[in-house]
Amino acid sequence: MQFDETPIGAYKYELDTPILLIDLDLMESNIAKMADFFRSVNANLRPHTKTHKTPIIAHKQIDASAIGVTCAKLGEAEVMVNSGIKQVLIANEIITPLKIEKLTSLARHADLIVAVDDEDNVEHLSKSAFNKGVNLKVLVEVDIGMKRCGVEPGEPALKLAHKIEKSKNLTFAGLMGYEGHTVTIPDFDKRKYETEKSMALLVETKDLIERSGLRVEIMSGGGTGTYNITGKIPEMTEIQAGSYVVMDAYYKNVVNEFDCALTILSTVISRPNKTTAIIDAGIKTMTKEFGLPLVKGIEGVKLTRLSEEHGNLDVSKSEIDLKRGDKIELIPTHCCTTINLHDKFYGIRNDRLETIWDIEGRGKVR
């Protein structure tokens, strides 16, 4: 028996902890549900790999009809291209000379789309693409209210679009606007109102650019919280939802139709008193910026504190008497940052270990 790699077929509670489990049935059901939705609208799904960072999951999304992937960083895009994925949007600005050289080299192996919000950056991308004889598709990122990257809607976007179109080895491909400030508004009607207000800025900018004679082929935006709002806007061509594939306890409050496929399996390592149990997982195992993870499947047990390597459980209202060595599962509140702490997904079906997947994009922040 090996110690580090647990045998395929093992019962999940036999696995060494803490460990990142993914329920394969639930993940597959999430992928299928999302694919179903996109059969009913104009837009396509181009799922964001910043959530799972794992090639095989991206391939499953594409098999279910996604048109490619969206990546946050160049390093993530390299992982996906190396796994054979050809249609890759990097939903970010690539600025430094070193990264631009890597980007245009990567363009020899895939159809890359990249975001820009600056004229100088357009010139740098064009020069590098020209020197290597590759073509890059370029989206103008428009700030539609999130106040992060992006040019203002309207004239600034129009100006940049024409600059791109005139640049050698670049193709102006369309617009990107991420309504990140609306995707987690809990009330659906309010979320819909704020999302449509934001996306109208992108649509108006599209109209302005098309009236000037340029074609806006791609209109990209959306997240898991707005896939069924932004995804229904007729002008939108692709949606970047990512979290839906595994979900988390925080997003579940916003979009209930997807299931939480991700859990942290942990072990009770101490029972210092009647009301407290200590587990072997802390903030190096699951993040808490969206709140403390939830305990799965045990009534009355609540996580009350996470330090670096430990979690404190209040078991005073527990239905069962947790003992040292007992295993518990926790549902993360932020799947994207929690997955980024782990090297592997342990794929579970019917409570047995079916497969182990390398999270190849973990830590690819460059």
Residues binding a second copy (CB under 8 A): 3, 16-19, 50, 72-73, 92-93, 95-96, 98-99, 101-102, 117-118, 120-121, 143, 147-151, 180, 267-272, 276, 278, 280-281, 283-285, 287-289, 307-310, 312, 324-325, 336-337, 340-343, 363, 365-366
Query: Nearest distance from residue 23's CB to a second copy, in Å?
Result: 20
- The rounded distance, in Å, linking the Cα atoms of 94 and 128 is 12
Query: Nearest distance from residue 341's CB to a second copy, in Å?
Result: 7
Cα distances (Å, whole numbers) of residue 15 to 20, 52, 55, 85, 186: 10, 21, 24, 32, 36
Which of 119/204 has CB closer to a second copy? 119
DSSP output for 228-245: HHHTTSTT--EE---GGG
Q: How far does CA 199 lie from the centroid of its chain?
A: 20
Which of 143/238 has CB closer to a second copy? 143
Which of 44/195 has CB closer to a second copy? 195
Q: In what order do the strands lie in the sheet with 238-239?
A: 44-45, 238-239, 218-221, 170-176, 136-141, 111-116, 87-93, 69-71
Which of 42/276 has CB closer to a second copy? 276
Query: Nearest distance from residue 150's CB to a second copy, in Å?
Result: 6
Query: Nearest distance from residue 18's CB to a second copy, in Å?
Result: 5
Which of 38/76 has CB closer to a second copy? 76
Query: Nearest distance from residue 349's CB to a second copy, in Å?
Result: 22
- The rounded distance, in Å, linking the Cα atoms of 131 and 140 is 22
- The rounded distance, in Å, linking the Cα atoms of 220 and 231 is 10
Which of 71/233 has CB closer to a second copy? 71
Strands 136-141 and 276-279: unpaired
Cα distances (Å, whole numbers) of residue 296 to 97, 162, 248, 301, 360: 47, 53, 12, 9, 27
Query: Nearest distance from residue 191's CB to a second copy, in Å?
Result: 18
